[in-house]
Amino acid sequence: MRNLLWIAAITALSACQQVPVQPVDCPMLVEVKMDDTARWLEEWHQDITLPEDQLLQTFKARELEFERSANPGSRLRLAILLAEGPQPVRDQARALELLAGLDAGQASDSERALAALLKQVIEEQKWLSDKVAETNRKWKDTQAHADELERQLQELTTIEQNIQQRKLPSSKE
């Protein structure tokens, strides 16, 4: 799932970089500015490589920023770190809560798109985690059943061997 965010970051960065565009019939130069969401994804990519103490400081700074101003930007910056950050700061349930509380009216199109992508990534990871847990449970149940059948087979084999070893009383004619 990190790869999905990484691909999204690269796509967003390549799509949002300042690119000079000059139409054929117009000598005016047009610039496309990089969106905040692309910067946040770039920040996230830098954050995941930080040593744990710096990562925790960054996390606390993001929380403080969100507490001071719960705007879509501060909400998303914190949600990105919670959703796809390293283990010491990862809390996908809280990230989902933050994303659910996003005011779509205040958020830009790219912020809404990033929030939707993060929700999808988190939900897919949860679904996959649930499937793995279910598969593990079924495997353990199957293993326990196989062990029980093996035990029963061993008991039957022992009974059969005892029967074969028994001496039949000789019959008198």
- Whether residue 79 lies inside any domain: the answer is yes
Report yes or no on 150 lying in a domain: no
In a domain, 70, yes or no: yes
Counted domains in the chain: 1
Q: What is the pLDDT of residues 78-137, one digit of tens each?
A: 998 898 888 888 898 999 999 898 888 888 888 888 889 899 999 999 999 999 999 999
Q: Is 168 within a domain? A: no
d(CA 77, CA 97) in angstroms, rounded, equals 14
Listed residue (36, 96, 38, 85) closest to 57, CA to CA: 85
User: Does 160 fall in a domain?
Assistant: no
* Domain range enclosing 8: 2-133
Lowest mean per-residue pLDDT among 21-35, 45-59, 94-108: 21-35
For the stretch 139-166, pLDDT in tens is: 999 999 999 999 999 999 999 888 888 8
Position 140 scores a pLDDT of 95
What lies within 8 Å, CB to CB, of 2 at 6+ separation is 48, 84
The answer as to whether 49 is a domain residue is: yes
